[in-house]
Amino acid sequence: MTGQRSWGYGRDDGPSEWHKSYPIAQGNRQSPIDIVSARAVYDPNLKPLIISYESCTSLSISNNGHSVMVEFEDTDDKTAISGGPFENPFRLKQFHFHWGTKHDQGSEHTIDGKPFPCELHLVHWNARKYATFGEAAAAPDGLAVVGVFLEIGREHANMNRLTDALYMVKFKGTKAQFRSFNPKCLLPLSLDYWTYLGSLTTPPLNESVTWIVLKEPIRISEKQLEKFRMLLFTSEEDQRIQMVNNFRPPQPLKGRVVRASFKA
């Protein structure tokens, strides 16, 4: 991989510039995409998604300058997803969010052209086939990311523990202990999903992700989303830049097929 170049979501270092340092940005299986529901192909062979987050092993919450992330111990398959389009279980490594300034943008995936105010990404890796997360992230079948849309509605009780911790990681490069948080509480009731082959949505943009985008959004309150918008892209010593609009716009489909686990 090339040396870590700095990238972000600003005018000069944002998604439209990423291809200069990361040419794969113009590749054939880039993410996110706009999911056109009428064009998704129902596939009766897709198995139901099985989410086993029983022994939950969250470690820390951190601000990496691009998003807020919760990391997990990933030494065994106890916190994993399986079923769906997968042969092997995929282990949970981390989850993070993308959000906007206002309600009319923020998600990375869109449905029939419509964005949501926020999107949660749960990032998993294929530990049966690859020895490390890094090795999996470089392989075409190495990662599985579950995308969950968030919309504004009533308060999400289980989200409070997370939004209440955000003040500890306001600045870029900060990290705090965040144990025994089970992200199962952030999933919608229905696990109906769309799936397609794509990429990481942030540099290095590796084309290593099988995406699982859940059809049913979850709801959080305006107040809860505001706490995400209080985070900063910048470190304590820098001039403060509010962390908002940290999303990549939809990329061309380039002949890919989106499959649906449910009949439209």
- Rounded-to-integer distance, Cα 260 and Cα 36, Å: 11
- Give the largest Cα separation in the chain, rounded: 54
Contact indicator for 66, 232 with CB cutoff of 8 Å: no
- Rounded-to-integer distance, Cα 71 and Cα 53, Å: 14
Residue listed under structure tokens 């993410």: 31
Q: Which of 66, 103, 109, 156 is catalytic?
A: 66
**Cα angle, residue 48 at apex, residues 47 and 51 outer, rounded to 5°:** 125
CA-to-CA separations, 260 to 33, 40, 150, 192, 247, in angstroms, rounded: 15, 6, 20, 8, 24
Contact indicator for 257, 41 with CB cutoff of 8 Å: yes
Q: Is 103 a catalytic residue?
A: no
Active site residues: 66
